[in-house]
A and B are shown apart, each in its own frame.
Chain A
């Protein structure tokens, strides 16, 4: 649907984004993870066609977007910024704003607004003004203001950062309901991965403006604490995972399933994480082939191995197994 290729984007001479490709497929869902300042918001602004990359191209349905075409295409994509603002006026007037831009008024506008308002439970707020709303309510109204536009692409920057767990759940349910009626592409930049992972087709991590793929397996929200001269420790369920990072405090860990060595006994190696457990599940792995071996090693971890390895190690549910991986293999967001 919309794609960025060979992008190098600068702000005041400083490179803030530098990657080869980022695509949001038609009707697809992509979650974008990364810490503050990683470049998520800038990437979303490029996807929203609000800015053009300093170097590289934006493609819309495979065609390079020119500066001239950008204006017309901008009405087919919308972005809800992190910490959104409402315009002067009531919630209803805010919801009408983008529809007026598109010359949709009166009964047609009321019908669309009513539908989205029901999904997001905003009916009691319609006559309120921005100074009468909480941060979480402003965020929900901002999402509704974007949803009523029925764009082909919806970009959400931390859409649930001001919402409590229940409100965040309602927001994601409303999005799912809307997509069930009318498919559209969604890209969500978020720290709150649990919700995004539940329905995202693809997850991309952004760090220092560079992108890397992330699989949704083996992701944990942790608290990092110093463990050695160059390692940090993270408590996950009943085990501690050692990580090479200079970060501390709250973080998200990803253990790439392809970086886990599976063996029947502990290996003598440089791997700092050696976890014993039993296989709980074996299944064919979706993208890229291989077999996904899930084991309970104090917490459920998934490793991707070849079918030959499964056969040689005689892996089956209930069989004892050892998962080993290096501290430097663990990704921290």
Chain B
């Protein structure tokens, strides 16, 4: 117990003192998470809408693939991406291995199925008459999609939250393709793993607390957005 209490005391003092390393790691994590979530949702939400509303050959198979990808192990994604981005890999030429962009790429691959599968479920939950009504009133594809999205706003906000949660808590891919380089690719999760293995429990705990606060703030922001208007 003494060990835990000591860890918390050190974590608290580091946070109060405004440790620059902690804030640097937190900022990088936030940047990676926001960029990856934005890209994953920008592609995943329309994909989910498409899968939910269009009837085409292979739709069921596509939904199965997306749902299976939800449970894809993060280290496997990291490993495959490492192979692709490494010098001898097909995308080795762009030199992204061990950069924050590589972490974003890995996170997008992991969050995209989350955004697509959950938004498909969210759209399927909207009364189908909403889409039909928009069409009868002359709305084109984009406006119809926007109208359906407005009706599913609570569920879609939850999708964004889930995608952000997936990205911010991810460690496998970030560790493998990011390399956990101090000041460059060290995110909150990889740093927590590192400092724990080094025995600096207080630092790891401080970073863990920052991660929790970050997740909490994003959730509060999305809930505030959901709360605006009803009916």
Contacts and interface: CB of A to CB of B under 8 A. Distances in A.
Contact of B136 (A71, A79, A89): A79
Interface in A16-55: 48, 50
B107 interface: no
Interface in B131-152: 132-140, 143, 147, 150-151
B167 to A, nearest CB: 29
Interface string B104-143: 0000000000000000000000010110111111111001
A149 B130 contact: no
Contact of A101 (B130, B143, B229, B230): B143
A130 B136 CA distance: 19
B18 interface: no
A182 to B, nearest CB: 18
Interface string B194-231: 00000000000000000000000000000000000111
Interface in A73-96: 74-75, 78-81, 83-85, 87-89
B37 to A, nearest CB: 25
Contact of A102 (B134, B138, B230): B138
Contacts of A101: 137-140, 143
Chain A interface SS verdict (over half): mixed
A212 interface: no
A201 interface: no
A142 B138 CA distance: 14
B138 A85 contact: no
A296 to B, nearest CB: 45
B231 A78 contact: no
A81 B133 contact: yes
Interface residues of B, number: 19
Interface residues of A, number: 27
A80 B129 CA distance: 11
A279 B168 CA distance: 87
A130 B140 CA distance: 23
Contacts of A48: 136
B136 A81 contact: yes
B150 A84 contact: no
Contacts of B135: 50, 74
Interface string B178-191: 00000000000000
Contacts of A320: none
A48 B135 CA distance: 10
B132 to A, nearest CB: 7
Contacts of B230: 129
Contact of B140 (A50, A71, A149): A71
Contact of B150 (A83, A87, A130, A149): A87
B172 to A, nearest CB: 40
Contacts of A145: 137
A277 interface: no
Nearest to B148: A87
Nearest to A102: B138
A87 B230 CA distance: 11
A98 B127 contact: no
B231 to A, nearest CB: 4
B147 A83 contact: no
A149 B137 contact: yes
A98 B138 contact: yes
A313 B135 CA distance: 58
Nearest to B130: A85
Given A81-B133, A88-B151, A149 B138 contact: yes
A85 B133 contact: yes
Interface of A: 48, 50, 71, 74-75, 78-81, 83-85, 87-89, 97-98, 101-102, 129-132, 142, 145-146, 149
9 contacts: A50-B132, A50-B135, A74-B138, A81-B129, A81-B132, A87-B150, A97-B137, A101-B140, A131-B231
Given A50-B136, A101-B138, 11 more contacts: A50-B135, A74-B135, A74-B138, A78-B136, A80-B136, A85-B127, A87-B134, A88-B231, A97-B139, A101-B143, A146-B137
